[in-house]
Amino acid sequence: MKQRTLNHKMQKIDSIDALSLYAQLTNNGRKANSLLFSNHEKDDCASFIISQSALKIEYIDKHLIYHALTPFGEQLIQDYFQLQNLTKQYTIAIQDHAPLSFIHPALEKINQFIKIYKVKVAILFSFEFYDCIESLPTTQETENNFPQLIVFVPELYFEIKTKTQICLAHFNSFSNNTNVFENIISKLAEPQKTHLLTKESTQKIEPTLSIQPNDSEFIRQIATAKQNIQKGNVYQIVLSRAFSLPCPNPFASFEQLRKSNPTAYQFYYHCDHFIVFGASPETSIKVENQNNKKRITLHPIAGTKPRGFDHQKNIATDIDVHNEKALLSDPKELAEHMMLVDLARNDISKIAIAGTTKVTALTQVSKHSEVMHLYSIVEGELPTTFDCIHAFSACLNMGTLSGAPKLKATKLIKEIEQTQRGAYGGAIGWIAADETCDTAIIIRSACVQNGIATIRAGAGIVFDSDPKTEVTETYLKAKTVINAI
């Protein structure tokens, strides 16, 4: 039986405020299996909103699980797997990754699905997806075992480009009946109450902050990392720790984070049993079509100094400029950064056409609410036989969240941290049927489960790292999200 072709309905609507539209469609972010993902580049912002997922695909414990979320999702499962009856869930056991196979089987299945139905999907990789690609030691389970990979296949989604002031609504179905879609569009045209969360977001709650590991234990972990660097086992390793506190309203916290820390990427991802929100400055993997060529881009960020504040906690230009000059001349920060630029070049070179891998920006400074970073941009051209799925297999996880060499550093992270990172250090974004993608590294973010937000923050440890400085760096990175909550 041949797979059916999706009916794709598209309509232009007036709304170009992504946050307001998402709030309106999802009851202020309360609707499960929904997404808001925005990429702010120069003078433009591109947003991708999923308000209704038809299908959720999870990879966990060597099983790829297809969950139907709507009747259309049930039809997708039936059609894709050639089943006689509708089903709400279908599971595939995934064999171990073959050493000579370039793409992990779970990604092969998802890539096949995207190409058959020509859909644009949301995707989230946890840090532990790297375990599927490489042979790594296991860590103790977290209280809520986090999926290694999650995909939302949308039934109703929206794309917004603020520069052209265009918002396109999309509806996927096997049916020619688009009444549901048309009803939603007509409701969006009606006057709406503002989504302001003033009352909820200004409630005064004294948070109880838990930090694991504590400062003294984290300093001990840094010492262990430096011993491995001195022995020549690794050049750099990124250690992280978790800051946890109550988060009664994740969407209000996300709205505050957007205001206080505007960054390249902003995302709010509501799955059934958790919410991940963040404002990340760093691209994970981006693949674009440029002049009939596929361009892959990595955006390594490494090297950190605090912003310059006066006694009133306002930015003091003279102090800020001083800190920027210190960042650009600090041998430790520059060495850390260049290691990871080289790692990004190496990752892209695995799949790019020979001679096309280039560093198009080197040791630039990006400034955020609490810290400033060094960043570079590395690009390459993909051959026609490769797509963004090959890019994920070749480049995940980013060296800026693991270290160098990547495999050895990740093994040491697992031995030292002894816990799963979950979403932190993974990637979130979208993949389209035209073999393009845009993903952000999940940093400056919170994962909310059962009303508790966990914010992980890391520091790159090198030979001459000062442990107390690295401890302070994790506080500064986490502070942005903690303050928003």
* 373 and 336 Cβ atoms separated by less than 8 Å: no
* 302 and 318 Cβ atoms separated by less than 8 Å: no
> What is the spatial distance between Cα 370 and Cα 314, in angstroms, rounded to a whole number?
11
| Mean pLDDT of the chain, nearest integer | 92
Q: What is the pLDDT of residues 75-99, one digit of tens each?
A: 999 999 999 888 899 999 988 776 5
* Tokens linked to 386: 């490769």
> What is the spatial distance between Cα 141 and Cα 244, in angstroms, rounded to a whole number?
17
Amino acid identity, residue 337?
A: H
Provide φ and ψ at 185, rounded to 5°.
-65, -40
* 287 and 436 Cβ atoms separated by less than 8 Å: yes
* 46 and 55 Cβ atoms separated by less than 8 Å: no
For 277, the enclosing helix (H) or strand (E) is strand 275-280
* 302 and 336 Cβ atoms separated by less than 8 Å: yes
Confidence of residue 316 (pLDDT cuts 50, 70, 90): very high
Residues with active-site annotation: 373, 400, 424, 444, 460
For 50, the enclosing helix (H) or strand (E) is strand 44-60
User: pLDDT at residue 145 above 90?
Assistant: no
How much is the pLDDT for 49?
A: 98
Contacts of 125 (CB under 8 A, 6+ apart): 148, 149, 392, 396, 397, 426, 427, 428, 439
User: Which segment of 81-95, 182-196, 455-469 scores lowest on mean pLDDT?
Assistant: 182-196
Burial (Cβ within 10 Å: 0-12, 13-18, ≥19) of residue 32: middle
* 269 and 428 Cβ atoms separated by less than 8 Å: yes
Amino acid identity, residue 382?
A: L
Q: What is the pLDDT of residues 199-228, one digit of tens each?
A: 444 455 567 899 999 999 999 999 999 999
* 457 and 240 Cβ atoms separated by less than 8 Å: yes
Q: How many helices (H) and strands (E) does the chain have?
A: 13, 22
* 91 and 66 Cβ atoms separated by less than 8 Å: yes
List domains and CATH numbers for the chain.
7-282+398-484 (3.60.120.10)
How much is the pLDDT for 198?
A: 47
The residues facing 475 across adjacent strands are none
> What is the spatial distance between Cα 242 and Cα 309, in angstroms, rounded to a whole number?
26
DSSP state of 443: -
How much is the pLDDT for 134?
A: 84
* Tokens linked to 275: 């919410």
Q: What is the pLDDT of residues 231-251, one digit of tens each?
A: 999 999 999 999 999 999 999
